[in-house]
Every structure is written in C-alpha cells, then in structure tokens.
Amino acid sequence: MNNQRDRIIIFDTTLRDGEQSPGATLNVDEKLTIALALARLGVDVIEAGFPYASPGDFEAVQKIAEAVGTEGGSTICGLSRATEQDIKTAAEALKPAANKRIHTFLATSDIHLAYKLKKTRQEVLDIVPEMVAYAKSLVDDVEFSPEDAGRSDPEFLYQVLERAIAAGATTVNIPDTVGYLTPSEFGLLIKGIKDNVPNIDKAIISVHGHNDLGLAVANFLEAVKNGARQLECTINGIGERAGNAALEELVMALHVRRQYFNTFLGRPADSTEPLTNIKTKEIYRTSRLVSNLTGMMVQPNKAIVGANAFAHESGIHQDGVLKNKLTYEIMDAESIGLTNNQIVLGKLSGRNAFRTRLKELGFDLSETDLNKAFLRFKDVADKKKEITDWDLEAIVNDEINAAPELFRLELVQVSCGDNARPTATVALRTPDGKELMDAAIGTGPVDAVYKAINRVVNIPNELIEFSVKSVTAGIDAMGEVTIRLRHEGRIYSGHAANTDIIVASARAYISALNRLYAALQQKDVKDETPQTASV
C-alpha cells in the first residue's frame, strides 16, 4: 500500500473517532456490522478502535480483525498512545487480521507538551522513535501521528517525523486535532513536510482533521494537492465535537472533480480511473446504517447523503432538471446508491421475491435474519399499499440491527385528544419471562408511553433526545424514531421504524433501555472508565 502515490488511500475512523461523538456509543455487534459495511464500501484501512481503552474496545477490535481483516481485504488498525502497554495491547487485539496496522500517537504542540504531557521537546524526540520501533517489532505496518500537528512548531514537527520514519513508520499522519487550520495553511503545512523531512519518500503522508470551523473537507482536498495520499475520515462526518472530515464528501469530490485532481496525482488530466477504491454505490446505504446504529441523524441539507441533496424545490430548477439533469445536478443520485424505485413489493409478494430484491439492494441476510425481516415486511405490507426500497431498508435495519431483546414490548395503547389527558397503557415481557402491565399520564402520548414503560422497567434514566422522521412521503409512510438516554454519564441510543409513530416511539425506547440494561449486567462496562483519544 505504501508505494501507491497515484491514488488516495481512504482510512475510516468511524469506529474510533466517530464513536467518540456524544451519544454514539456502539456495542461489539454493532461495531462489527459497521466494519463489514466499511469493507463492502471498499475502505482501505478501518480504524476499529482503541484496544487499551476498555475490554469492550479490545473485544471489538479483535472480532473485527478476525471477521473483516481477511487476506486481500481491508487493513485493520488499532489506536495506541506512545506507551509500551498501549502498543502491546493493540498488537494483541489485531493478531487475527491478515493485514494489521498499529496507529500510535504523541502530542507535539507546545500547549500540549506544557499542559497535557508535561514533557520537553527533547523527551518527545526520544520517546517517538523508541515507541515506533517497538510497534514495528510487533507489526509491519505502523502509523505515527504527532497530535495537534496543526498548532505545532513546523521545525520541531519535521524532526519528530524524520525520527518516526527512521524508526519504521510507514505512514505519518498530520492531524488538525482542534480544527484550527484554513485550507491554505493546511496545504502549506503538508508542502513544508514534503520539502523539509529528508526521508519523507519512505512513508505515506496522511491527514486527519476536525470540522470545528467547517473546513475539514476543504483542508483535506488542499492537502491532497500538496502531497497527502491518505485521508482519515468518518461516515457522515461524525466524531468529537463538530466531527471529522466526511468520507462521502471527500470521495465524491474526488470522483466528480477527478479531472481537476488527476494532475496532482501525476495522472493525465483526462484519465477516467477512480482516485479511490471506494464503491460509491455503497455510500448511501453505509450512511444510513451508521446513522441508525449510532442514533445520529443526518441533517436534510447534508452534502451527498442528506434527504435534500438531490431534491429541487425551485420551479426553475425543476424545469431544468426535467430537461437535463446536468443543468442543476453535478452527480447522479444513483452514483451513491440512491434509487428512485417506488413500488418494490406488495402484500402478495412471496419470500423469494423479497429475498431477491434485498440482494439487489445489497443485503445478503442469513436465513434467521431473512425470516425476521420477511415477517416484518408482511406486517408493514398489510398497512401500506406501496412498499419502496427505503421502506425495505428501514425494515431490514430495524430487524437485524435491533438491540438484545431483554424487555419486549407486548402491547402499547394510548388515549389522547384536544381536551383529554394523554394516557398510555403498556405491557412488557421482562427478561425473566414475566408479563407486566402499567399505565401513566403524560404531557403527550409519547411522554405517557415512556412514563408507563419506566414504571415497569424501573431503571433510572434521562431522556435527552427524541427525533422522528418519515422514511418516505405519503400519509401511510413509515416513521423512524431515534432516542437517546443518559444513565450515570453514559448515553444509550435506540432506533425503531413503524407505520404507527407511537409504536415506533415505544420500540425505540425499549431498544435503548435494553442496551442500558445489558450494560448494567456487564461488570466490566459498569466499572470501567474508558480512555479516549483525540488524535
């Protein structure tokens, strides 16, 4: 991989930095589901987690290394601080992967040295080669990041990078950790590294950046023009604070404007060869999956994957698009896997037609998951006249990515109106098999449902987010509900879809409560205080 200079390597950190988004906590199975989707998307390097942070992160990296890190597939990467124990733990978690990478980091900005590390520049110059060499003794592929490189003294940064490469780093990553730089500054930083680090030709230059000023994608594209060949990004741009550079925006910018970027990569300007290995038709599906599992909704005006990205309200725009899409669209919605199919299946459709359509949409389900999804499809088909691809996607994601079914919703019934007090009755099956029923009054029907559920479950929690959106247009559209709960400082998300928004709300709440209840049963989760990293 490190000899490829005429294409862009996509390094995805959705499962590491992306999971550090407030409320985006994922369990091991959810991380594995996303990792499989990233591999299907064509991601070159999957940063699966920070193994030393917690037993849960170690297990997730290990399982992803085993299930996804197959020969010829994506490289699986584990993050570590520049300490022996961190590096050793990362190497242990990555063992099952055919292609593995340790990504180790140490801060280099004066503000981090003084207040965070309490170390001198000379100490950093001594630590970096020692730890990179140790990582190199455990794996062949080592990446080093000087944390807060964007605010580091360039001359000192050059020295650190030279020593890291000499010690065996095959990739050097330049992070704009706090999202401080502008595009021209980031481009000059990369150019300075290429011009002033004597052995830079022995490593790939990578970039990592946060979106605090809304400049992450622009910064990365400027970095590419100046020699960066690996981009560290996340699906939907999720991550710490304002998030990371968004994978879908970077990939499609390079795809749509490849004639512009070709020359910077030493290609003929008219070359039609893709600049990345990403299968763009998997972008939309992967975006939806990450949104559903993390509970982080995509804003409608989000570039590439937002609901309005290919919508036209203006009459002038509509007229132009009907005559020729190129008048107001620079890319085809189908290029990211977004189809315009309307009626896909109906209530009389059989199991084979259902399976075939799911395969066409990219879902390859096990027999068990297919059975669950098909039963749910039949239920929805009885209530809707038309079943769209988006409906099918919502059904499949809702069924196969559901939380462990510890508490199960058996019944939900509400009474509400203009001059009535909203009242809800719920019946739940508890983890020990008992069926319990209770009722409550709330400020609205959903509030009443949640209060009734809380009376049965009796697990203290704080509802901090409740969002509803329609899967498709129409009075019979399925509604998707995402909620987040907070308990003892940790956040748990729940997601559900149903033609009845009250039922979807109840199921989403139960989903989050099941994740919370499962976490409370695990002593390592309850007692562990995870480390976090902001490379």
What are the residues facing 438 on neighbouring strands?
426
Lowest mean pLDDT among 144-148, 274-278, 428-432, 529-533: 529-533
What are the residues facing 412 on neighbouring strands?
426
- Would you put residue 40 in left (φ > 0), alpha (ψ -120 to 50) or beta? alpha
Q: Give dist(CA 144, CA 150) in Å, integer.
A: 15
Listed in sequence order, the DSSP H helices in 202-282 are 216-225, 247-256, 258-262
pLDDT at site 314: 45
The segment with the largest mean pLDDT, out of 17-31, 271-285, 490-504, 519-533, is 271-285
φ and ψ of 267, to 5 deg? -105, 160
Terminal-residue alpha carbon distance, the chain: 22
- Residue 1's pLDDT band, with cuts at 50, 70 and 90, is very low
Contact 193, 229 (CB under 8 A): no
Task: Note the pLDDT tens digit of each residue in 357-396.
Answer: 787 777 778 888 888 888 888 888 887 767 777 788 778 8
Q: What percent of the chain has pLDDT over 70?
A: 90
Task: Note the pLDDT tens digit of each residue in 507-523.
Answer: 999 999 998 998 888 74
Q: Give dist(CA 363, CA 396) in Å, integer.
A: 8
Between residues 40 and 311, which one has the greater pLDDT? 40
For the whole model, what pTM was predicted?
Answer: 0.83
pLDDT average, residue stretch 75-93? 98
Write out 451-471 in H/E/C secondary structure. HHHHHHHCCCCEEEEEEEEEC
Q: CA torsion, points 494, 44, 230, 76, in degrees to nearest 10?
A: 70
pLDDT average, residue stretch 245-271? 96
For the cut 80, the answer to whether the pLDDT of residue 218 exceeds it is yes
Q: 326: which DSSP letter?
A: G
pLDDT at site 111: 96
Nearest by Cα to 229 from 238, 237, 220: 220
Contact 257, 265 (CB under 8 A): no
Lowest mean pLDDT among 44-53, 114-123, 211-220, 308-317: 308-317
For the cut 50, the answer to whether the pLDDT of residue 316 exceeds it is no
Sheet strands side by side (includes 462-470)? 462-470, 479-487, 490-498
Integer CA distances (angstroms), 88 to 92, 95, 100, 102, 282, in order: 6, 11, 13, 10, 35
Angle (CA) 364-370-371 rounded to 5° is 170
pLDDT at site 463: 93
pLDDT average, residue stretch 52-80? 95
Contact 168, 136 (CB under 8 A): yes
pLDDT at site 333: 85
pLDDT at site 355: 83
Sheet strands side by side (includes 408-415)? 408-415, 423-429, 435-441
C-alpha 431: how far from chain center: 30
φ and ψ of 415, to 5 deg? -135, 125
pLDDT average, residue stretch 518-535? 62
For the cut 60, the answer to whether the pLDDT of residue 328 exceeds it is no
